[in-house]
Structure 1
Amino acid sequence: MNRNPAKAAAAAAVLALAGAAMSGCSAAAEPEGPVQLTFWHGYTEADGDVLQKIVDDFNASQDEVQIKTEVKTWAVIDDTLLPALSADEGPDIVAMPGERMPVYADRGAFADLGDWYSSDDGGTSALNEQAVDMVTVDGAPYGVPTGFVPLSVFYNKTLFAAAGITDAPTTWDEWLDAAKKLTVDADGDGTPEQYGLALPDHDTVANGLWPSLFYGAGGDLVEDAKTAVVDSEENREALDYWVSAIRDDKISPTGLDGIGADELFSSGKAAMHVGGPWMASIAKDNGIDYGIAALPAGPADQAASAIGVAMGVTAQADDAKVEGAEAFFSYFLGKDVATEWSLGSGWPPLRTDIAADAVSDNPTVVALTDIAPTSRALLPGVVNSVDVLDAIDDLTQRAVAGEDIDGLLSTAQDAVQSALK
């Protein structure tokens, strides 16, 4: 995904050096005592506490593998993983946003987990298939999902009641109709004091909002991780529909970014917002009585891009460490532990055999579990996903600004195809 060819070449060189440094690991003498693993992750809130408990419980459950966690920000992990691996000082297990894993897998930083996935004790057969697609590159799985949640509609129940709306919308037309009713321009100056929907046109949640709208019209961005399909009638239909809603019906401000959308909703100036589970705490902190609903169905489909996090075994791990990491992954995906992780982290269960009533102690998780079947992995297996999403970001921002949609789709098509090469 590097835009600088020299930087990309340097990164490749780093991995080559790392491979040379690691080549002798398996020949080293077997250490005495339990296998020691380091685990980098970026979970810093309540999710970090429950993950640490799970690691501690795993360590206490057996005497063959011991894991030590190191908490870093996601940005620091992204910046330091390759240099650390090149110095043979990287982690054995690392968690990162799911869309970043194909980047590192392509550069040789992660071990192929195909054999573990095909084993009987992996616990992977019950995993959400789309979550597995998120960590799969060229048919090989390089990670284990730790979180996978579809974008969803958060709505202000108080504003809904004031507008006489009793149910969350389930189709695009219902969604737009509700957004119009919830848009209030009391002084008639053309700038609403309250918007029906905070619909950002750039820098959206993991850039997955507009792809979700494209899915609803039957469109997509990429096929088989290799072919751009941006310039389609389906995507044109989605853009026409929602650009008109923003520009003509004024249901949302133009030029809005993701942070601005969060602020509109949290201040009570937007009745609906599309986001992830963190919006529950933001709404609660701001006194918003909120509900959660699935992204309404478009004319062709109901699907929403899912945000995910995954953990993998780095290439510096020797055979014993790989086996130890896989033992932890199996433990983590066990039904009881997976339920514990879901309740504590706020993410819906990764296993499809965990029902909503098993997580009833957390209403947010219940709601997200109910809508989990709408999840769709965003650009699975696409190494240069950031470049692809940058092109879509440019497309949607300029479309909402009023530029010609046909020309923008053609430009985005070329940019995405170039990124895929």
Structure 2
Amino acid sequence: MKKLISVAATAAVVAIALSGCSGSAGSSSDQANGKVALTFWHGYTEADGGVLDSIVNDFNASQSNITISTQTKTWSVIDDTLLPALSSKNGPDIVAMTSDRLPVYAQKKALVNLDDFYAQDSSNTKALKPEAVNMETVSGKKYGVPSGFVPLSVIYNKTLFAQAGITTFPTTWDQWVADAKKLTVDSNGDGTPEQYGLALPDHATVGNGIWPSLFEGNGGSVTSSDGTQATVNSQANIDTLTYWAGAIQKDKISPTGLDGIGADKLFTAGKAAMEVGGPWMAGVATTSNIDYGLAAIPAGPKAQVASAIGISLAVTAQTDATKQVAAEKFLAYFNDKTTAVKWSLGSGWPPLRTDISSADVNSNATVASLTEIAPNTVALLPGVVDSADVLTAVDTATQKAVAGGDPKQLLDDAQTSIQQALKG
């Protein structure tokens, strides 16, 4: 919330500065000689950062006119410093950002509209997954290309499953809850299980996408498809929240008051048999010596759906026409099938193209599993500028419902808060 307020407070100054940025840079002698130097900020700080830097180096070596220099920063630092840096013309030409922030910067006119780029066959965007491209769309215009679009999935402890006599992973909610009950162990009968069947956070969930995924599984949603109307208090969502709050309260399959970090700790300590998470949990499980499996979030009454955690690459308004063309050449290179496979295998993110199958990435078991899960993935609140406020309202409703509150009243309250957020 404070971060959004800070962005809003500087919006007027930045918008004025950025309105004159296009065409103001790039007058160096290097550009006069046909050479273009670009700066690229990204927040990939783990092994995926090394892979991305390697792809940039490969691009630099593939031609002689464009040189890209990468700067690795945390996502929060990028978010805190991007607008001021662009307003002083000291920002990046290309920037990676979490998908929830892209609409904010598009609204502030900090990013270049890439519709013309997408229209070109040379952009290599035709094979990109439509839902991933939807993540880049704000008010009908595209402002980035995806560099990450991964479904939330369930990571499970195979050893605990075997001990409970469960041989296959559940595929429906009812099966999921039934297996979670089998996996919940309260040896001393004090009402507090020593082992939970499922670590299901009721607030501050991973990417804040778990409850929207559950709502979608029962045919519900948080907002309308165009992101202009709140839809969170539908009967479908009331039924979903009632179902899961009841399972947690009555069957004690998961603790109440649990957040995403707490869920991670329970799973890695072997005190929860299942957790909904992202691809990084595979590495965490390996470090914790857990024999794990990955599976899709089981289907609700209406559908099997998972929200995506996403990262976008965008061209900033700091670029002039020459730099924009150069930046788009890199984006086209990044979208190429060969590069996409390299990025997927090295980063652990599933492929962004529809023409890359699990067989193409089977040298990385985690990526292959996520590739099979990915077709039922949807973007989380695409194009919604104040998504943080929207998801905070959802968090408030889910946490209070699991603690015993009335789902209908809580979702009615969330409806009001979300509609206010959507109006800006």
* TM-score normalized with structure 1 length: 0.97
TM-fit CA distance, 1:403: 1.1
Q: Which residue of 2 aligns with 1:420?
A: 422
**Cα-to-partner distance string for 1:230-253 (whole Å, 9 max, x where unaligned):** 110000111011000100000000
Within a 5 Å distance, the mapping from 1:14-53 to structure 2 comes to 14-22=14-22, 24-25=24-25, 30-53=31-54
DSSP-derived class of the 2:86 partner: helix
Q: Which residue of 2 aligns with 1:383?
A: 385
Aligned mates of 2:82, 2:320 — CA distance in 1 = 17
Aligned mates of 1:5, 1:308 — CA distance in 2 = 23
The answer (yes or no) to whether the contact 1:2–1:8 under 8 Å persists in 2 is no
Q: 1:59 to 1:300 in 2, by over 3 A?
A: same
Aligned mates of 1:347, 1:179 — CA distance in 2 = 28
Aligned mates of 2:182, 2:6 — CA distance in 1 = 53
1:242 aligned to which of 226, 240, 244: 244
For 2:374, the aligned partner's letter is A
Aligned mates of 1:94, 1:253 — CA distance in 2 = 39
Aligned mates of 1:28, 1:336 — CA distance in 2 = 33
TM-fit CA distance, 1:9: 4.0
Q: Which residue of 1 aligns with 2:364?
A: 362
Aligned pair count?
421
Aligned mates of 1:126, 1:157 — CA distance in 2 = 35
Within a 5 Å distance, the mapping from 1:123-138 to structure 2 comes to 123-138=124-139
**Cα-to-partner distance string for 1:303-334 (whole Å, 9 max, x where unaligned):** 11000101100001011111111111111111
Q: Which residue of 2 aligns with 1:72?
A: 73
**Cα-to-partner distance string for 1:30-56 (whole Å, 9 max, x where unaligned):** 532421000000111110111111111
1:291 aligned to which of 287, 290, 293: 293
Q: Which residue of 2 aligns with 1:8?
A: 8
Q: Which residue of 1 aligns with 2:206?
A: 205
Aligned mates of 2:115, 2:2 — CA distance in 1 = 27
Aligned mates of 2:3, 2:110 — CA distance in 1 = 20
The answer (yes or no) to whether the contact 1:168–1:293 under 8 Å persists in 2 is yes
Q: 1:2 to 1:132 in 2, by over 3 A?
A: farther
Q: 1:23 to 1:329 in 2, by over 3 A?
A: closer
DSSP-derived class of the 1:299 partner: coil
Within a 5 Å distance, the mapping from 1:9-408 to structure 2 comes to 9-22=9-22, 24-25=24-25, 30-223=31-224, 224-408=226-410
TM-fit CA distance, 1:3: 8.0
**Cα-to-partner distance string for 1:149-179 (whole Å, 9 max, x where unaligned):** 0100000000000000001111001100100
For 1:311, the aligned partner's letter is L
CA RMSD of aligned residues (A): 1.5
TM-fit CA distance, 1:26: 7.5
The answer (yes or no) to whether the contact 1:22–1:88 under 8 Å persists in 2 is no
**What runs of 5+ residues in structure 2 fail to find an aligned partner?**
none
Q: 1:141 to 1:188 in 2, by over 3 A?
A: same
The answer (yes or no) to whether the contact 2:155–2:276 under 8 Å persists in 1 is yes
**Cα-to-partner distance string for 1:189-234 (whole Å, 9 max, x where unaligned):** 0000000000000110111000000001110001111000011000
Aligned mates of 2:12, 2:368 — CA distance in 1 = 43
For 1:16, the aligned partner's letter is I
TM-fit CA distance, 1:65: 1.0
Aligned mates of 1:7, 1:85 — CA distance in 2 = 13
For 1:350, the aligned partner's letter is L
Aligned mates of 1:90, 1:6 — CA distance in 2 = 18
TM-fit CA distance, 1:5: 6.3
DSSP-derived class of the 2:410 partner: helix
**What runs of 5+ residues in structure 1 fail to find an aligned partner?**
none
Aligned mates of 2:87, 2:2 — CA distance in 1 = 18
For 1:163, the aligned partner's letter is A
* TM-score normalized with structure 2 length: 0.97
Aligned mates of 2:189, 2:121 — CA distance in 1 = 65
The answer (yes or no) to whether the contact 1:199–1:256 under 8 Å persists in 2 is yes
Aligned mates of 1:2, 1:313 — CA distance in 2 = 26
For 1:8, the aligned partner's letter is A
Give % identity: 60
Aligned mates of 2:244, 2:394 — CA distance in 1 = 15
The answer (yes or no) to whether the contact 1:15–1:82 under 8 Å persists in 2 is no
Aligned mates of 1:419, 1:249 — CA distance in 2 = 35
For 2:85, the aligned partner's letter is A
DSSP-derived class of the 2:10 partner: helix
For 1:169, the aligned partner's letter is P
The answer (yes or no) to whether the contact 1:15–1:85 under 8 Å persists in 2 is no
**Cα-to-partner distance string for 1:276-322 (whole Å, 9 max, x where unaligned):** 00000110000000000000000011111000101100001011111
TM-fit CA distance, 1:14: 1.8
TM-fit CA distance, 1:17: 1.9
The answer (yes or no) to whether the contact 1:26–1:318 under 8 Å persists in 2 is yes
DSSP-derived class of the 1:399 partner: helix
DSSP-derived class of the 1:55 partner: helix
